[in-house]
A and B are shown apart, each in its own frame.
Chain A
Amino acid sequence: MVDTIKKNIKAVQENLFSSVGSSILTIVTSYLVLNFFRGMFGFVMTSDKDWLSVLNNMQLYMVQAYPEDDFIRVWLSVGLTFVFAGLSIGLWRSEDRSNVSVMFDRLFKAGLGLLFFTIVAPTYTSYMGNDGFVITEEVFSSSSRLRILIPTLVITVGFFILKNLKINFSYNNSDAVFFYLFIPVALIWVVKLPTIQLDQNRERIIPDPLMPIANSTKIPWTIIFVSFLVSYFIGMYLKDKKRVKNVMSISWFLLPLLIFSWIFKKPQIDMGEVLTGDIPIFVIFFALGLATVLLINNPIFKKYFSLYLGVLAVLTIGGLFIGIPMLGKVCLLLLSLFTVVVPAVSTSKEGKRSLIIIWFVALVTLTFLLRGGASETGIVVPGSSIFGGFSLTWLLAIFGTYVSFPLGVLLALGRNSKLPIVRIVCTGIIELVRSVPYITWLFFASVTLAVFLPAGVEFNLIIRVLMVTAFFSGAYFAENIRGGLQSIPKGQYEAADAIGMSPFQKTGLIILPQALRAVIPTLVSSAITAFKDSSLVTIIGLFDFLTIGKTVIDNQSIPVNFVGHQRENLIFVAIVYWIFTFTLSRRSMKVEKRLGLGER
């Protein structure tokens, strides 16, 4: 015991007060931090803040005007994500174990921090009153301070004892996730929150009565929690099946597309169009792909293969401007890409069979998603965008990453290509996109893009913004990835050539995996930037998460007046942004560690 204290004192001396300079620094910084905390605490607690302006507008923050009757679709999206997360955690269940006493140590430290901040929190705070004189208000009475202090002290001491008992019990890190989720789900059943209630004269009842959380929130979350648990066990059961893992990885990629084209959207399907349009196109393209795979070893076909590829390329680009259905255009593009990989993979019978399966599944998925995505939506909202708020921020962030990442890889490879035309086009796109500010591109999407599209083609504003965003972050991804490509020593290329790899094998198996691994930190920071930049869409009239907090809520006067409560909402928005970006960067650090970045 005495030893520990001595050790700690020594550590403090060494780290904080080692010289005169560092002592001054320590004192000045801790003074600044303390003052910031006290100011913040006083600001949050003063009686002129209405934190219910945040709580009361949760629905607006999440989906904006999305109709309540269709909320089942929102819950389905959230639920599907949790089910997939449960399956993945089960499938990739780590064998890492943590000791209970390590956790107790952390909790003890957190308790100490809480104790410290409860003690230093200010009792009084002052702010400027309406009449121009400073008002001093009690924000943290000594009785409420004691009410927090005593239980915290008891719990902290408890953790201190538990920690020093050195209990030899460890738990699996993956299992702990379910425990972390259990706490909030259990809490929503017991916690009561202040809620805005109106009396007969439609006046707000003050103080706000405490009400339990509505069943429409509690029940979906509980169901989601249970399905998360079930899928976790299913995932654990299927742990050794490699194929399931592959399917899971692809499903993660398709999940957002499925959510946005079928679940969020409520597509109105015209069966006649499906029968006369989609099914014939599907059959034709499946037959073409099948023929390519089967004929690839035929000497006559081999001779004319590059010509066939060229014709496909021409048709793909030309097809964009002819009046063929959207599905036809996308299928042409997919067929060209597929034909490029066929010679490399279809060397064996096994390879051919899996190629055919992949082709079939890819076409089915494509037709399905495109039909949902291109259909009219059955959801009626008063504004011009189907949803706003956090859903829109997420949509832009996910697509900013999902669509632009592959695009970035292609652009980066194209820029390093030996074919001059490919190189020039890719360099041109990258330089053009990067040299114009994002806001300008947004205005381009909102005002000018319609001029460049073929006649009769009209996209929703959100889709236009997504197209521009994909190219914008794609160009930045491309430059990051090019950095990775250049870091690969020439010997790697030569070695791949020496063992007779084809250019595609060389790129896919040797170069890209190393290049991407090298640029993970920059890629993550690009993704975070895309997430935060999504708030710029406010200038073209889309309502993202930040705009709701900054502009919309600050203007509400009916039935409850929230005018002048912008700052509370901005703090809330900042915290939510911070939680997401912080989680993202911590996750990426774990991935780096697992890939051994900087160690090899």
Chain B
Amino acid sequence: MSKKAIVSLLVLAMVAVACGGSTDDAAEEVVEEVAMTTLEEVQARGFLKCGVSTGATGFTEVGDDGSYSGFDVDYCYAVAAAVFGDYSKVEFKQLTAAERFTALSAGEVDVLIRNTTWTQSRDTELGNDFGPTTYYDGQQLMGRVSDGLSANSTLADIDGLKVCTNAGTTTEKNITEGAGLVGATITLVTVEAFSEAIDKFIAGECDIVTTDGSGLVGRRAVNDALNDWAIFPTSPISKEPLGPTYRSNDSQWADIINWTVYATIIADEYGVTSANIDSVDYDAAPELGRLFGKNDGELQTKMGLSADAYYNVVKQVGNYDQIFSRNLNPLGLYREGGANDRWTNGGLVYAPPAR
């Protein structure tokens, strides 16, 4: 009896398992039908899940005590401040370039603020939508002044030189395309990460290194090579608008993210910072009164937020200029005269009116 009994019982057990499994599936389907909006989900959870980079100087950094800081991280804090009135209610999920969109569509993160370039295919094919651009970047090249290169050099000047870049990104495609158009023959050396490309550049294994302008300026400042390395061409060879990304078809959530970014920009236009926000004269600036929920908070409550949501954003995180200078000025990146300057100064940073 014994062996046969055990075998048959095991088979029975497996049947039970199979049945149990199928009933569970049915239960799951029922749960999925009652879908919540992203805002409801985030509020029920009690904290925001924000997808950030695994490491991008100035944009996502982890300090020596494990705390997060950076330009992108500050926008995560800003969204949390808008939703909860408490900027610290964020859980950061550090995502590699390969897994970022999967993580977003699988619901592992509520919003992706991970220096992601807004492109047509990413916008239309992947089930994502892009928020307002927070940082206008563009691909540039860096070479040595001793090789006869200067800030006014063009792509035609790199004929016959060795170019280092990281593999599998649009950076690689842009430079091949650009060099081909002007008829420059280049030797392309691809490495896994940008820091390796820089190491090769310093060691003299390549003459040119190329990536987004912000990265090049940062590395040039760090290496004290302002007079030795030249960044060119003056207008970048590609457009890299970076901003938040969220799932399609949830316009309430999209509005919350968009207006969080706009609120920081509007506050900057009025010169309102986290330091002086409590002394703002709202009668003189009715737009601010509406945005910060002081005169009339209906605009925010219609979005599902509290009336003072954007007051909290500026109070706790700061306006656009503060976020920018806090994180990027130490790297040698400044707003003045660039694409990231205020629209009144000739830049591209512009927000629709709050009314």
Contacts and interface: CB of A to CB of B under 8 A. Distances in A.
Nearest to B73: A382
A306 interface: yes
Interface in B149-176: none
A133 B202 CA distance: 10
A311 B99 contact: no
26 contacts: A56-B64, A60-B62, A65-B66, A68-B65, A130-B229, A313-B6, A318-B13, A318-B16, A318-B17, A321-B20, A381-B66, A382-B66, A383-B66, A383-B93, A388-B66, A421-B7, A455-B24, A543-B62, A551-B54, A555-B55, A555-B57, A556-B61, A557-B218, A557-B222, A558-B330, A561-B330
A384 B54 CA distance: 13
By size class, the interface of chain B is: 35 or more
Interface stretch (B139-147, B287-295, B314-322): B139-147
Interface string B35-62: 0000000000000010000111110111
Contacts of A321: 16-17, 20-21, 24
A574 B142 CA distance: 31
A320 B17 contact: yes
A319 to B, nearest CB: 10
Nearest to A384: B93
A131 B204 CA distance: 10
Contact of A454 (B12, B24, B61): B24
B94 A543 contact: yes
Q: Which 3 A-B pairs have the closest CB atoms?
A: A65-B66, A321-B20, A130-B225
Contacts of A454: 20-21, 24
B162 to A, nearest CB: 13
Contact of A382 (B68, B96, B199, B219): B68
B102 interface: yes
Interface of B: 1-3, 5-7, 9-10, 12-14, 16-17, 20-21, 24, 27-28, 31, 49, 54-58, 60-69, 90-96, 99, 102, 106, 144-147, 195, 198-199, 202-204, 218-219, 222-225, 228-229, 327, 330-331
A317 interface: yes
A492 interface: no
A567 B20 CA distance: 53
Contacts of B102: 447
B219 A564 contact: yes
A203 B228 CA distance: 24
A556 B70 CA distance: 10
Interface in A291-320: 306-307, 309-311, 313-314, 317-318, 320
B57 to A, nearest CB: 5
Given A314-B9, A383-B91, A564 B198 contact: yes
B41 to A, nearest CB: 14
Contacts of B147: 132
A129 B228 CA distance: 9
B355 to A, nearest CB: 36
Contacts of A59: 64-66
B229 to A, nearest CB: 7
B3 A563 contact: no
Contacts of B330: 557-558, 561
A313 B57 contact: no
A451 to B, nearest CB: 9
Given A382-B91, A543-B94, A564-B223, A557 B61 contact: yes
A247 interface: no
A419 interface: yes
B49 to A, nearest CB: 8
B334 to A, nearest CB: 15
Contact of A384 (B91, B146, B195): B91
Given A128-B202, A318-B17, A447-B106, A563 B6 contact: no
Interface string A457-475: 0000000000000000000
Nearest to B52: A383
Contacts of B91: 382-384
Pick from B7, B64, B203 the residue with the most CB of A within 10 Å. B64
A458 to B, nearest CB: 12
Nearest to B88: A382
A431 to B, nearest CB: 19
B57 A130 contact: no
A383 B106 contact: no
Interface in A41-63: 56-57, 59-60, 63
Nearest to A561: B222
A132 B102 CA distance: 42
A383 B222 contact: no
B75 to A, nearest CB: 15
A310 B12 CA distance: 10
Contacts of B96: 539, 541
A310 B92 contact: no
A566 interface: yes
B94 A65 contact: no
Given A132-B204, A307-B5, A382-B66, A555 B222 contact: no
A563 B64 contact: no
A557 B17 contact: no
B61 A306 contact: no
A322 interface: yes
A563 B65 contact: no
Contacts of A540: 99
A468 to B, nearest CB: 17
A104 interface: no
Contact of A558 (B9, B69, B106, B222): B69
